[in-house]
């Protein structure tokens, strides 16, 4: 209920929709939702079927690999701070 009021105000009074307006954006939102659900499912399966130490290692290195893949596939820039924090994460 508390979330309904701001969304209703935003949609009807201001006139902006919080949902995607084009089909391409709607499809991308569905893909993001499916991949997010798949990530959660594989995380739980990882903890269930692997030794705990290996599972926790995979779970906590997820942000590092996300940063690395974003740089390789999406062309995001890696700053010195990002590289340093990624290396610290792998060491600790």
Could you read off the pLDDT of 47-81 as tens digits, one per residue? 889 998 888 888 888 888 888 888 898 888 888 88
Structure tokens at 84: 């340093």
How many of the other CB atoms lie within 10 Å of CB of 55? 17
Measured distance CA(88)–CA(62) in Å, rounded: 14
Domain borders along the chain are: 21-51, 61-92
Residues 4-27: tens digit of each pLDDT: 566 666 666 665 666 777 888 889
Cα end-to-end span (Å), the chain? 42
What pTM, to 2 d.p., does this model score? Answer: 0.58
């Amino acid at each position: 209920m508390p979330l309904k009021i701001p969304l209703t105000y935003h949609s009807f009074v201001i006139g902006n929709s919080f949902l995607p307006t084009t089909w391409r954006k709607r499809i991308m939102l569905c893909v993001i939702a499916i991949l997010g659900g798949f990530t959660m499912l594989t995380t739980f399966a990882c903890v269930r079927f692997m030794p705990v130490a290996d599972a926790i290692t995979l779970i906590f290195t997820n942000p590092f690999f996300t940063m690395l893949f974003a740089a390789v596939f999406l062309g995001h820039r890696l700053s010195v701070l990002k590289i340093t924090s990624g290396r610290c994460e792998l060491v600790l």
